[in-house]
Structure 1
Amino acid sequence: MPAITPRLEVANLSRRFGARDVVKNLSLTVAPGQVTCLLGPSGCGKSTTLRMIAGVETPDSGTIKIDGETVCDANHHLPPEARGIGLMFQDFALFPHLTVAKNVAFGLSGSAAEKSARVDELLERVNLTGFGPKHPHELSGGEQQRVALARALAPRPRMMLMDEPFSGLDNRLRDGIRDTTLEVLKDEGTAVLLVTHEPDEALRMADEICLMRDGAIVQRGSPYHIYNAPSDRAAAAFFSDINVIKGVSKGALTQTPFGAFLTPGHADGGAVEIVIRPQHLKIDFDRGGRGPNTTPQEGTPARGIVARARFLGHESLVDFTMEFDGSKLTAAVPGVFLPKVGTPLWLMIRRDRCFVFKA
């Protein structure tokens, strides 16, 4: 079978503002129908990358291709309107003086009947049938977002670029709007590049995540891979709270409150960090770790003293001071569990859920 041409291909893209390299030799591809997420903290260069792909920012170097056609390189820069790209931003940017139907039809060409049919089709897809005569000020934030989606999709763009499009929505509405948006985009077969600083949004929507830091992609892969095989401590911490157990590798072993850990590949005498998420730190109510619920992967139990406990609705977080070395660890317990401060409890960890990094 012939290779599928990527819908979007970016190679060695760079942008500098003054003395600061905002984007550094960034490369990525997005296949037709794929949702790729640029994920990272504010200021990491993800929005600048999106703006360069859209054509509203000019890169200092690099190449951008859409369906194999070069739209930007050292020799030419195709304007945004000629790139076949749809844009969605946090600000929905609807025209307040136009009806919903006229907003959606704004970028369309063809006869009045063709425009009307496309508008009706998209309003039905975003669950806004009958909203055509309304004006934006008559709509809720979620409804405005769906109008913005319909308008961006109306000209059948080859590529959809989305910059924090859901961040202005109420938390109670956000998940439903995300799901509706993703369903419509998949039905249209549109390739999507989504920018967000929210890990939950990336995990929920993306087929592939590109984790950015300081203007560069530091890890790229499926949501499962990025979450379960982070490239470093910072990558693990970006997706959830973490516990860090510090130690020194000696003879490919590192001593911890939970016994010796295998740390091959780390220099003898080198400092290492063993990272584990709170949900994988288990409280052993059988005391000593020999009860029926333990497994070989959980290793040696260690005793901690409760320093604080708080209820978060779906789970409780319990902070411990470890007797072994005074280090601080946090366990996440499903449901309600609020032991008194000072209570000693035995803890176990899932060794197969630990990540070992050079300190």
Structure 2
Amino acid sequence: MKVAPTEDETRRAGPSPRLELSGIRRSFDGREVVRGVSLSISTGEVLCLLGPSGCGKSTTLRIAAGVDRQDAGEVRLGGQVAASGATFVPPERRSVGLMFQDFALFPHLKVADNVAFGLKGGAAANGARIGELLERVGLSRFHDSWPHELSGGEQQRVALARALAPRPRVMLMDEPFSGLDNRLRDGIRDETLSLLKEEGTAVLLVTHEPDEAMRMADEIALMRDGRIVQSGAPYNIYTAPVDRAAAAFFSDINVVRGVSRGALTETPFGAFLTPGHADGAEVEIVIRPQHLGIDFDRDGRGPAATPQQGVAARARVLRARFTGRESLVEFRMETDGQVVKATVPNVFLPAAGTPLWLTLRRDRCFVFPASRGAGSGSGPSSI
């Protein structure tokens, strides 16, 4: 028999997660779009559900909000069951805030009335809360304005104020910044994150943009084909991807293929240690463009080999472009004709055909089993 925890044990264990999903499954027309998703978010934490379009992340958010019901699994809010096989709490009773990419402001209501929409207190208390939030989002002067009189960024801030007005325990945000001009987006993200942290709100943010997830999240849950394939802090997700597809989701990659023999794989950059791969197994060494180094040709002699970089490989420039903060240089390897990309800070525009030597940071490379499909492969080996 399971013994219930004492009050003292419960207090030591700490508060329950604000939002917890356990084994969520959902199918449409016989196709399972969410497959056993589990996650939890604590007070003041931002968890970003990141993945390509169609991976099931928005459906997961809708289930958390209560606007869709799961086929299996459980939703808990503050430790209390909100949705299970036997229980369903409707959206309006979940103390959950919602923000979407279209802002969804009521065009027939002025800004203050939009913010007041979900408030249930008295006129004085509501007025104080409206004034406080409009001041915090920098829109006090628009108190009596109509939504169509505001810019996209200003409308987004009104939508944020409206969602926060009832002091929800959890904020659910579905691509809330995708409709904003690029020039405004970073500033609005930072303002939104600061306000959410001040309110202590637990946030589930859905996005398909890795930069947005890296900028805003305390934890990223990378989703693919209805499943969470990897979760962790942004730094850990980026520097230790679970497979080649995870690495490629965050940046361009170069892939050098080879065959592991005796736990070594020969490449144009020398031999790589590939422990854990069977003898004769095909492997892929994944290198991000920023981790390729460039050195000038010295009468056909490259830079000396080092344990960190291995040997240099000769290549010729195909094209070079300046992208604003860095230069992107494409090369064709002389050994096997493969095209690889390198990025260089500032302006570096060598002419097409220029022979150069490429080196790489071995500690920044990943080794995976050769892909059989877009998402195949296990975790990276050490190099």
Interval containing the TM-score (normalised by the shorter chain): over 0.9
Aligned residue number for residue 208 of structure 1: 219
2:20 and 2:76 in contact (8 A); partners too: yes
Separation of aligned partners in 2, 1:113 and 1:199: 43
Separation of aligned partners in 1, 2:227 and 2:70: 14
Separation of aligned partners in 1, 2:256 and 2:165: 52
Aligned residue number for residue 26 of structure 1: 37
Counterpart pick for 1:59 among 46, 62, 70: 70
Among the aligned pairs, what percent are the same residue?
70
Counterpart pick for 2:347 among 331, 336, 350: 336
The answer to whether residue 209 in structure 2 is matched with residue 232 in structure 1 is no
Counterpart pick for 2:133 among 105, 122, 127: 122
The answer to whether residue 174 in structure 2 is matched with residue 163 in structure 1 is yes
Q: Measured at CA, do residues 114 and 295 of structure 1 come closer, stay the same or move farther in structure 2, by a change above 3 Å?
A: farther
Separation of aligned partners in 2, 1:262 and 1:242: 20
The answer to whether residue 381 in structure 2 is matched with residue 357 in structure 1 is no
Look up the equivalent residue of 2:248 and give its one-letter code.
A
Separation of aligned partners in 2, 1:192 and 1:92: 17
SS at match of 1:309: strand
Look up the equivalent residue of 2:36 and give its one-letter code.
N
* Shift, 1:295, TM fit: 6.1
The answer to whether residue 96 in structure 2 is matched with residue 85 in structure 1 is yes
2:24 and 2:36 in contact (8 A); partners too: yes
* Shift, 1:297, TM fit: 1.2
Separation of aligned partners in 1, 2:18 and 2:69: 20
Separation of aligned partners in 1, 2:58 and 2:13: 33
**Unmatched tracts of structure 2, length 5 or more:** 1-11, 371-383
Aligned residue number for residue 326 of structure 2: 315
Q: Measured at CA, do residues 160 and 284 of structure 1 come closer, stay the same or move farther in structure 2, by a change above 3 Å?
A: same
- For residues 56-205 of structure 1, the aligned pairs below 5 Å read 56-205=67-216
Aligned residue number for residue 43 of structure 1: 54
SS at match of 1:284: strand
Separation of aligned partners in 1, 2:234 and 2:306: 27
Look up the equivalent residue of 2:186 and give its one-letter code.
D
2:259 and 2:265 in contact (8 A); partners too: yes
Separation of aligned partners in 2, 1:323 and 1:73: 60
Separation of aligned partners in 1, 2:146 and 2:306: 61
**Unmatched tracts of structure 1, length 5 or more:** none
- For residues 221-300 of structure 1, the aligned pairs below 5 Å read 221-285=232-296, 287=298, 288-290=302-304, 296-300=307-311
Deviation string for 1:83-111 (max 9, x for gaps)? 11000001111111111111101110111
Separation of aligned partners in 2, 1:286 and 1:257: 16
* Shift, 1:296, TM fit: 3.8
Separation of aligned partners in 2, 1:142 and 1:44: 28
Separation of aligned partners in 2, 1:29 and 1:223: 16
SS at match of 2:308: helix
Separation of aligned partners in 2, 1:358 and 1:38: 26
Look up the equivalent residue of 1:52 and give its one-letter code.
I
Coordinate RMSD, CA, aligned: 1.1
Separation of aligned partners in 2, 1:139 and 1:326: 54
Look up the equivalent residue of 1:252 and give its one-letter code.
A
Separation of aligned partners in 2, 1:255 and 1:126: 57
Look up the equivalent residue of 1:136 and give its one-letter code.
P
SS at match of 1:48: helix
* Shift, 1:286, TM fit: 7.0
Separation of aligned partners in 2, 1:159 and 1:315: 39
Aligned residue number for residue 14 of structure 1: 25
SS at match of 2:211: helix
SS at match of 1:144: helix
* Shift, 1:219, TM fit: 0.2
Look up the equivalent residue of 1:67 and give its one-letter code.
G
Separation of aligned partners in 2, 1:305 and 1:61: 55
* Shift, 1:2, TM fit: 2.5
SS at match of 1:297: coil
Deviation string for 1:54-91 (max 9, x for gaps)? 00011101100000000000002111001110000011
Separation of aligned partners in 2, 1:159 and 1:214: 25
Separation of aligned partners in 2, 1:178 and 1:340: 39
Q: TM-score, normalised by structure 1?
A: 0.98
Look up the equivalent residue of 1:49 and give its one-letter code.
T
Separation of aligned partners in 1, 2:339 and 2:32: 37
Separation of aligned partners in 2, 1:104 and 1:214: 37
